[in-house]
Amino acid sequence: MRPLEKTLRISRNILPVILLIMVAYDSSACTAFVLKGGGRQYLAKNLDWHCGEGYLIYNPQSIVKYSLHNHANRFSWVSQYSSITFNQFGVGFPLGGMNSAGLIIEELNAPGRGGVPKHPLILNEFQWVQYQLDNHSDVSGVISSTQTVGVKPIVQNLHYIIMDIQGNVAIVEIVNGEFKTYTGDDVKYSVLSNNLYGNSLKHLKNFTGFGGELPMADSRDSQTRFVTIANQLKQNSDKVPDKELAFLMLSGVSQYDTQWSIVYDNKESKIFFKDAKSGNEVQFSFESVNINDNCCYKYSDLSDCKRGKNLMTDLTREANMLLFNKIEEDYIRAGISQLEINTLQGLFKSGNENLGHY
């Protein structure tokens, strides 16, 4: 190929990359992926956010739950499975977690602020995660529920990466007021960042090894993180993975505001948590929960990894509101409006209401 022709061809490849980077969603950033091989499987995620406060919460089964109290079509359900979740907005509104059947769900910020408002049952973007963990054991159950349970975001449009005990993986997004789901062969690379999954797959085709000619970039924007992890998944496809490899891959896409790194092992029913500031790693499992006859909610404060070794402490309404007091300071420093802070406070109050139903 002549030098000029090659330059023009590369330029044609670079142009869509530049355009994608220009519209990349970068108000916050997270990365998640699934690592599988040799009978092992892990779902891993970095939380990149301005706030590092949070609780790990054990949510018992057989508990009556209510959708957010200020919605017109309020409804209830009974949790079929217990779960362990990572929460910044109080009990019942997790960022992600794993249930006792091995279903894992993690959320990441996505472009847009739309929802799926036409369904008869509506949840907000965080309670949707808890609802799925409460009610379903596998990916197919989650996908089926998108026909009846919609999402109306109150803070941020999200998309979700999901894995069950059989190793099935799904991506669930909200696009133009409808759910967009990827399962089976549609999940070409089990990685998610902060751009829509379909756009990330198109972007990937510009790079060497994926059909294009561009070299791998050393950057931390959303699309580059997607490409970096997709490339590592491809390079490690013949290896039997472990949690150390998962954490290593997470560290390769960490950012200045990375707060947590999480690795879920649903085959062994374990969760590994690493605090970005201290580097301390803590292991959680359902076996470590101090379940008494009352079968109540338990929690660990993630700001203190020493306390996080076991889910020993009963979660009270006072403890739940204490988390709000912690994150409120962070959100005020981040310039969040008082109206948005009041909305977050409403989540904690709704969670306290549900705490009274066991």
* Cross-strand partners of 59: 83
Report the pLDDT value the prediction gives residue 303, as an integer from 0 to 100: 84
Q: What is the largest CA-CA distance in the chain?
A: 77
* Among the listed residues 83, 108, 78, the one whose alpha carbon sits nearest the alpha carbon of residue 266: 83
**Neighbouring residues of 286: CB distance < 8 A, sequence distance ≥ 6:** 58, 82, 84, 100, 269
pTM: 0.90
Report the pLDDT value the prediction gives residue 24, as an integer from 0 to 100: 36
Report the pLDDT value the prediction gives residue 306, as an integer from 0 to 100: 62
Rounded mean pLDDT for each run of 10 residues along the chain, 358 residues in total? 42 38 49 97 95 93 85 86 96 98 97 84 95 98 96 93 98 95 98 97 97 92 97 95 97 94 97 90 86 76 71 91 92 87 92 77
> Rg (Cα) of the chain, in Å, rounded?
20
251-304 pLDDT, tens per residue? 999 999 999 999 999 999 999 999 988 888 999 999 878 766 556 899 999 987
Report the pLDDT value the prediction gives residue 114, as an integer from 0 to 100: 79
Report the pLDDT value the prediction gives residue 287, as an integer from 0 to 100: 86
Report the pLDDT value the prediction gives residue 84, as an integer from 0 to 100: 97
Report the pLDDT value the prediction gives residue 18, as an integer from 0 to 100: 34
Region of 20 on the Ramachandran plot (φ > 0 left; ψ -120 to 50 alpha; else beta): alpha
Is the Cβ–Cβ distance between 92 and 142 less than 8 Å? Answer: no
Domains plus CATH for the chain?
3-355 (3.60.60.10)
Q: CA angle, corner 137, sides to 132 and 141, nearest 5?
A: 65
Report the pLDDT value the prediction gives residue 12, as an integer from 0 to 100: 42
Report the pLDDT value the prediction gives residue 135, as an integer from 0 to 100: 98
Report the pLDDT value the prediction gives residue 9, as an integer from 0 to 100: 45
Report the pLDDT value the prediction gives residue 217, as an integer from 0 to 100: 86
Mark out the alpha helices in the chain (DSSP H runs): 3-22, 127-135, 139-145, 197-204, 222-235, 243-251, 317-333, 338-355
